[in-house]
Amino acid sequence: MEYQTVIGLEIHAELNTASKMFCGCAATFGGNPNTKTCPICLGHPGVLPVANRAAIANTILLGLALNCEVTPRSIFHRKNYFYPDMPKDFQISQYDIPLTAGGWLEVEMDGYRRRVGITRVHLEEDTGKSIHIGESGRIHGAEHSLEDFNRAGIPLAEIVSEPDLRGPEEARVFLQLLRATLEYLGISDCKMEEGSLRCDANVSLGVGGELGTKVEIKNMNSFRALSRALAYEVERQRFALEQGQPIVQETRHWDDAAGMTSPLRSKEEAFDYRYFPEPDLVPIEPDADWVEVIRARMPELPVEKLHRFEKDFKLPPEIATMLTSEKAMADYFENAVQTGQDPVELAKWIAGDLAALLKDASIPIDACPLKPTGLGELVALLAQRVISGKMAKDVLREAFESGKTPRVIVADRGLSQIADSSEIESVVDEVVTENPEAAEDLRQGKEAALKFLMGQVMKKTRGKANPSMASDVLRKKLG
Amino acid sequence: MAISIDDVEHVAKLARLELSGEEKETYRRQLSDVLEHARVISEVDTEGVEPTSHTLPLVNVFREDEVRPSLPVEEVTRNATWAEGGAFKVPRII
Amino acid sequence: MDIIYSSGLELARAIKDKEISSVEATSAYLDRIEAVEPRVSAFVNLCADDARERARQIDRAIAAGDDAGPLCGVPIAIKDVLSTRGFTTTCGSRMLEKFVPVYDATAVERVTAAGTVMLGKANMDEFAMGSSTENSYFGPTHNPWDLDRVPGGSSGGSAAAVSAGEAPWALGSDTGGSIRQPAALCGIVGMKPTYGLVSRYGLVAFASSLDQVGPMALDVSDCAALLGVISGHDRRDSTSIEQPAVDYLSRLTGEVKGLKVAIVKELSSEGIDPGVLEKIKAAMDVLEGLGVTCEEVSLPSFSYGLSAYYLIAPAEASSNLARFDGVRYGFRAAGEFADIWEMYDATRAQGFGPEVKRRIMLGTYALSAGYYDEYYAKAQKIRTLIVQDYARAFDTYDLLVSPTSPTTAFKLGEKMDDPLTMYLSDICTIPVNLAGIPALSLPCGLAGGLPVGFQIMGPPLSEQKILDAALALERELKFDVRPVGLEAG
C-alpha cells in the first residue's frame, strides 16, 4: 500500500515586545507567580484591552517575510472556552480575517527546493501557566494546580502552514527555517525549551490521492521531539491502516520519555469556540505607508543568505544551511571571511568542530572564546602548512578553552610543523639509512613500507613533519 | 422554535452551569419562548446587508509598546482567599 | 438652604460660595438615607465614614482657596456596576458580593476629580440584566412614587436614590434602556450618551457593543454638567471617541425654535399605555408651541429591534460573564471538588441568579455552532437596518421622540413570571443602543399618579441639541420631581 504522508504545522511564537499585547505589564520570561499582572491581564471585571502597536507591526513583518498578503482590514475575534489559565475564559485571537495570509516558505533539502504554503499569520494573546502539583508534576495524576498569569497576555504570532509537508524530516527543516526567520527578524526569542516557540502538527496518511483522517499531535517540545513524534505517528497510522483499522480524528499527546503519542483525554467541553468579532477592539487597516515602513525593516532572510553563501562562497548546501540556521553563526562566518582565508575551509571548521565544541559547552556562538579573526588565524596556519590538520583540531580546542589565539598557542607549544623541504629531506635520508630493508621494500613498491617509514619520520620529528611533504620526499627518493 | 432538553444540557455545559432537572425544563421553556419571538428576524430581507459589530467608525486604535507598573502580588490575590504563594489554587484539571 | 432636592449645581455653587459646607451637604444626605432607605432600598453598600472624611477634605481645600472642582463637594450615588477602588463592587450579584476592586473606573475617577463625594453604591439588576431591579441578589429597590412598584432597571437604585432625595445625582449604565427607563419610571432625567463618548473602562461589561455610562439627575442642567465631566477620550478604552470632553453646561441655551422633530410610529402605537401616550402627545404640543415642527415618521426595522437585541446582548454577555469562574476573584462554591469542571459548574450555578443564567444560555445558544448565522449574524444585520433607518430619519429631522417606556411603573412581582413580558419594557429604548446614538428621558407628567418619561433621540454626537430640547421642555412642563407620598409614612 502506497501512503502519502501529509503534515501541516501550527506554530506559535511569543513576540519579544517589551509589554504585553493588551496591557503594559512586562512581557518577559520568568519571575515569581503573578508579579507581572494587572487588572487587564487578570481579567478583572470592567477592564478593556488596548492593542500593542509593535506587536501588530512585528506580525505584519513576519507575514511579509513569509511572502503573505497583508489583509486590508482585519479584526480580532473572541475564542470562547473555559480553562483555569484563561483570565477571561475567552482568548482574544483572530478567526477568518487574519492580519496576513496566503504566503509560502521555500525549504531546501537533499538537493531539492520546495515551496511550503503558509495559510496565515495572525496575532493573539497567550494564556497563563498551570503548575501541576502532584507526584509527577504533570497534568495527569495531579492533585491540584496553581495558576500563574505572568505569561497571560503576551503577544503570540500564530503561523499555520498548508498541509504541504510530506514527511517528518521536511517538517523539521521547515520549522528550523521558520525559527531562523523569526530570529533574523529579531521579533521573538524563539526558544522551544523556554516555550517561546511552540509547535503542533496535523498528520494524515492519504491513499491514491484521497486525503486521510487528520490527527493533531501536541506537546512536542524540541526539534528532535518533533521528528520523533511525527515519525512515530506516521508509523502508527500506517500500521493501523494496514490492519484495516480506521484512524480516529483526535488530539494526541507526544510522550517524549515513552516515545509514543496517546489520546488526550479530558473533561473539557466540546470544542465549540463560538467565535464572534471582539467588540472591545476596533478593526486594523494597515495603510500602504505603514506597510512600507515595516517592510523596510526586513533584513536579509535565511533563505536569501543561504543562497548567497552557496553562490558567493561556493559553500555546499548542507554547510550553508547549518551556518544560516542561526544568525549569529552566519555573522560569525562572514566576519571570519573578512580575514581573507578560504570560505569553504572556514565554513567547515565552524559547522563542524567549532559547532561541536559550542554544543558540548552549551555556549552560544556570540559568546565563543575563539573570535572569527582567531579562526582565520587557524585556517591560515593550516594553509601555510605550519600545522597539520590533526594539530589544528587540538589547537582549536585549546583556543576555545583558553581564549588564547592559535598563533600564540602554536608558538607556546612549539607546534610548528616542519615544512621546510631541506629539513625534511635530511630527516628522510637519516630514516632511509637506518632502515635499509624497509627502504628496499618501498623501492619494490610495497605500500606497507611507506607507512612504516612515514612512522619513523614522524617519530624522529616528534610528529612535526608535514605528512604530505614527507611522503612526497620519500616517494621521490625511493619511488 | 422548540429547544430540547438535550440542547439545554449542551448549552449549559458550554457555559459551565450546573442545572437541576427542574431548572432545565424551566429554561427550556423560557428559551424556546424567547427564540420563538426572536424568529421574526428571519423574515426580514437582509440580502446585501453587512452585519454591524461596531457603530463607531474607529480603526487602528493602538498603544505604544511601553512597560507600565504591574500590581503588587498582594493586590493580585486579595480577592482570592484560596491563593497560595501568590498563585491561584484550583482543583485538578484532569 | 433646603439641601435635599436642591440640584447638584445649586449645591456646588452654595458649597463653593461657602454658604454651606460639603460636610453639611453630605450629612444631610446621609440622614435622608437613614430615614428613607428602609422603604426604598436604593443602595447595596454605603460608605458613610469615607464620605464624611472626603467631605472634610474638600471643605479644607475650599477654605485654603484651592480649586475643588466644578462639582465641588456635592454628594453622588454610583451604580454598583462601576469599579470603585477599595470599595466593594457587587454588580447586584452574589458572584461579587465581597469583591473589592483594585482600580477605579474612568467615569468614577472623573467625577471624583470634579469634586463629588460618593455616598455609596446603588442597587441594580444583577449584572445590569433586567428592567425592574428585581433581579438584584440583595433584594429589589422600591419606587419612591409607590413603594409597591418597581423603580425600573437595571439602574433602579440610582434612579430611586435621586428620586427619593437620597442623592442629588447618580451615575448609571445603559445597555438597552437601563438609565432611561428607570429615570422615566421614577420621574427624573437620565441620559445615554453616544456610544464611545464616555469611557467604558471600569464599567463591568454586560454587552460591550451596547453599554454606556451616563448621568441621572433631577434636572437637565445637572445632566449636562455630569455628562461634561465624564465624557471625552480615554486611552484605556479602544472604543472611546477621539475627542476631548465637551462643556455641555456652558453651551446650554434651551433654544429650540426652528427644530424639526418626529415621533417614531413603531414606538408609539401598539403596546403603549394610552395614559403614557397622552402625556407624550401633550409634550409634543408644548414643543410645537415653542416653534418646533412636529411630525411622525415610520422606521420599519424598529419592529425587529427587541428580537435583535435579545440575541446580540445575551451573546456578548455570555462571553463577558465567562470570567466569573471562581479562579481569580469573586465567589467560589464551597466544598471539595473532584475537578475544576465541577468547581466551575457549581460556582456559576450558585453565584448567578436565574435571569443572568437565562441570558448566558440564550447568548451561548445564539453563538453556538450551527446557529451563529441564523441568530447572531442575522441580528447584527437587523442592527445595520436600524442604523440606516435612523440615519435616513436624521437626514430630515433634527431629533426623534417617543415614550421612554410603554408603561408607567408596574407592581413588584408583576412581570417576574414571564421573561418575555419583562423584555417588552425595553421596546422603546433598545433601538437607541443598537444604533449607538444618544438619547435622554425627561419626566413629562403623571399618568395614574405615576411618572411618564419622554424620550428624545438624536444623531451621533448631538448631545447638545438633545439637552437644549429637553431644557426647553423642562422649563415649560415644570414637572415636580418630588415623589408624592414619600414624605408621609
Cβ-count burial C20-45 (b if 16+ within 10 Å, e if not): bbbbbbbbbbbebbeebbeebbbbbe
Global pTM value: 0.92
Q: Do C139 and C388 contact (CB within 8 A), yes or no? A: no
Query: What is the per-residue pLDDT for A275?
Result: 96
Task: Kindly determine whether residue B61 and residue A51, on different chains, have CB atoms separated by under 8 Å.
Answer: yes
Between residues A445 and C385, the one the model is more confident about: C385
β pairing state of A251-255 and C450-457: unpaired
Closest residue in A to B58 (Cα–Cα): A282
- Count Cβ atoms within 10 A of the Cβ of residue C361 and give its class: 0-12 exposed, 13-18 middle, 19 or more buried: buried
The one-letter amino acid at A214: K
pLDDT per residue rounded down to tens, chain C (489 residues): 899 999 999 999 999 999 999 999 999 999 999 999 999 999 999 999 999 999 999 999 999 999 999 999 999 999 999 999 999 999 999 999 999 999 999 999 999 999 999 999 999 999 999 999 999 999 999 999 999 999 999 999 999 999 999 999 999 999 999 999 999 999 999 999 999 999 999 999 999 999 999 999 999 999 999 999 999 999 999 999 998 989 999 999 999 999 999 999 999 988 899 999 999 999 999 999 999 999 999 999 999 999 999 999 999 999 999 999 999 999 999 999 999 999 999 999 999 999 999 999 999 999 998 899 999 999 999 999 999 999 999 999 999 999 999 999 999 999 998 898 999 999 999 999 999 999 999 999 999 999 999 999 999 999 999 999 999 999 999 999 999 878 754
* DSSP for C223-276, written as a single string: HHHHHHHHBS--TT-TTS-SS----TTTT-----TT-EEEEEGGGSSTT--HHH
Q: Find chains touching chain A: ≥3 CB pairs under 8 Å.
A: B, C
Tell me whether A130 touches chain C (CB under 8 Å). no
- Is it the case that residue A419 has pLDDT exceeding 70? no
Query: What is the per-residue pLDDT for A270?
Result: 52
* Strand positions, DSSP E, C80-140: 117-122
Which of C352, C349, C355 lies closest to C134 in space, CA to CA?
Answer: C355
CA A461 to chain centre: 45
Task: Kindly determine whether residue A45 and residue C344, on different chains, have CB atoms separated by under 8 Å.
Answer: no
Task: Kindly determine whether residue A80 and residue C96, on different chains, have CB atoms separated by under 8 Å.
Answer: no
Task: Kindly determine whether residue A272 and residue C369, on different chains, have CB atoms separated by under 8 Å.
Answer: yes
Q: Find chains touching chain C: ≥3 CB pairs under 8 Å.
A: A, B
Tell me whether C417 touches chain B (CB under 8 Å). no
Q: How far is A196 from chain B (nearest CA, A)?
A: 19
Q: How far is A346 from chain B (nearest CA, A)?
A: 41
Tell me whether A19 touches chain B (CB under 8 Å). yes
Tell me whether A146 touches chain B (CB under 8 Å). yes
- Is it the case that residue A204 has pLDDT exceeding 90? yes
Query: What is the per-residue pLDDT for A266?
Result: 56
pLDDT > 90: percent of chain A: 72
Closest residue in B to A55 (Cα–Cα): B65
Interatomic CA distance for residues C376 and C435, integer angstroms:
16
Q: Which residue has the cell 421642555?
A: C473
- Is it the case that residue A424 has pLDDT exceeding 70? yes
Mean pLDDT of chain A: 92
- Minimal Cβ distance to C304: which of B31, B41, B78: B41
Tell me whether B32 touches chain C (CB under 8 Å). no
- Minimal Cβ distance to C344: which of B3, B16, B41: B16
Q: How far is CA C416 from CA C8, C354, C410, in A?
A: 35, 11, 11
Average pLDDT over residues A203-229: 93
Spell out which residues of chain A touch residue C102, defining contact as CB-CB under 8 Å.
39, 44
Beta bridge partners of C174: C212
Spell out which residues of chain C touch residue A90, defining contact as CB-CB under 8 Å.
319, 322
Task: Kindly determine whether residue A56 and residue B59, on different chains, have CB atoms separated by under 8 Å.
Answer: no
Q: How far is C372 from chain A (nearest CA, A)?
A: 8
Chain C residues 358-417 within an 8 A CB cutoff of chain A: 364, 367-369, 372, 376
Closest residue in C to A81 (Cα–Cα): C322
- From the list C7, C154, C268, C301, the catalytic residue is C154
Query: What is the per-residue pLDDT for C489?
Result: 44
- Is it the case that residue A1 has pLDDT exceeding 80? no
C173 in active site: no
Q: Do A189 and A199 contact (CB within 8 A), yes or no? A: no
Report phi then psi at C461, rounded to 5: 65, 30
Query: What is the per-residue pLDDT for C1?
Result: 87
Tell me whether A344 touches chain C (CB under 8 Å). no
Report phi then psi at A236, rounded to 5: -60, -45
The x, y and z cell numbers of residue C425, run together, are 419594557
Q: How far is CA A346 from CA A178, A300, A321, A376, A416, in A?
A: 26, 21, 15, 7, 20
Residue B13: which H helix or E strand, with range?
Answer: helix B5-14
- Minimal Cβ distance to A84: which of B54, B61, B90: B90
Query: What is the per-residue pLDDT for A384?
Result: 86
Residue-wise pLDDT for A113-146, tens only, equals: 899 999 999 999 999 999 999 888 888 788 999 9
Average pLDDT over residues A154-179: 96
Q: How confident is the model at residue A268 (pLDDT cuts 50, 70, 90)?
A: low
A447-460 helix and A436-443 helix, angle to the nearest 10 degrees: 140
C154 in active site: yes
Interatomic CA distance for residues C311 and A232, integer angstroms:
47
Asked, as a colleague might, if the bond just before C155 is cis with ω within 30 of 0, I would say no
Task: Kindly determine whether residue A89 and residue C83, on different chains, have CB atoms separated by under 8 Å.
Answer: no
- Minimal Cβ distance to A43: which of C91, C316, C328: C328
Interface with B, mutate which of C84, C209, C235, C361 (most B CBs under 10 A): C361
Helix, strand or coil for residue A151? coil
Q: Do A19 and B70 contact (CB within 8 A), yes or no? A: no
pLDDT per residue rounded down to tens, chain B (94 residues): 679 999 999 999 999 999 999 999 999 999 999 999 888 999 999 999 999 988 989 999 999 999 999 999 999 999 999 999 999 999 999 8
* DSSP for A356-394, written as a single string: HHHHHHT--GGG-SS-HHHHHHHHHHHHTTSS-HHHHHH
Residue-wise pLDDT for C35-61, tens only, equals: 999 999 999 999 999 999 999 999 999
Tell me whether C385 touches chain B (CB under 8 Å). yes
Spell out which residues of chain A touch residue B53, defining contact as CB-CB under 8 Å.
75, 277, 279
C79 in active site: yes
Between residues A450 and C275, the one the model is more confident about: C275
Q: Find chains touching chain B: ≥3 CB pairs under 8 Å.
A: A, C
The x, y and z cell numbers of residue C108, run together, are 468614577
- Is it the case that residue A269 has pLDDT exceeding 50? no
- From the list C132, C136, C178, C405, the catalytic residue is C178
- From the list C16, C79, C192, C415, the catalytic residue is C79
Q: Do A140 and A104 contact (CB within 8 A), yes or no? A: no
- Minimal Cβ distance to A82: which of C325, C368, C372: C325
Spell out which residues of chain B touch residue A270, defining contact as CB-CB under 8 Å.
10, 13-14
Cβ-Cβ contacts under 8 Å between A and C: the total is 102
Q: How far is C443 from chain B (nearest CA, A)?
A: 28
Average pLDDT over residues A77-97: 97
Spell out which residues of chain A touch residue B55, defining contact as CB-CB under 8 Å.
none
The one-letter amino acid at A276: F
Cβ-Cβ contacts under 8 Å between A and B: the total is 132
Q: How many CA atoms lie within 13 A of A411 on its CB side?
A: 6
Which of C292, C305, C296 lies closest to C277 in space, CA to CA?
Answer: C296
- Minimal Cβ distance to A147: which of B53, B54, B87: B87
Chain B residues 43-72 within an 8 A CB cutoff of chain C: 44, 46, 49-56, 58, 61, 63, 71
Beta bridge partners of C399: C261
Least confident of A332-346, A418-432, C35-49, C181-195: A418-432
Spell out which residues of chain B touch residue C358, defining contact as CB-CB under 8 Å.
27, 30-31
